[in-house]
Amino acid sequence: PPLVMFLAVNTGLIILRATERIWQITAIHDGVIPAAALGVVVVGDPLTYLRAEAAGQVATATCNFILAILIGMAGTVQGDSYYRGQAAHVA
């Protein structure tokens, strides 16, 4: 469970960062000076960087979410001998 909780929190934080990037992209499209939207001095076109970063963050969050589900399901199903009341003994 600690790994699943870590992935859940990490996924939430990545989604938050991707949302901030999307807000910045929208602000630049609306006419805000890129340096003001990003809070840094901008050289070149920042939209390509922001789009790539947002896409990567969304993809990473999706993979983390799926991984958390798979890890959560792992080891939750007992074998048939468990349900019949027969403990499987390993020699």
pLDDT tens sequence across 9-40: 999 999 999 999 999 999 999 988 888 888 88
Residue whose token pair is 């469970």: 1
User: Which residues are CB-contacts of 21 (< 8 A; sequence separation ≥ 6)?
Assistant: 50, 53, 54, 57
> Cβ distance 68 to 7 under 8 Å?
yes
Tell me the domain boundaries of the chain: 2-81
Q: What pLDDT is attached to residue 90? A: 54
pTM: 0.71
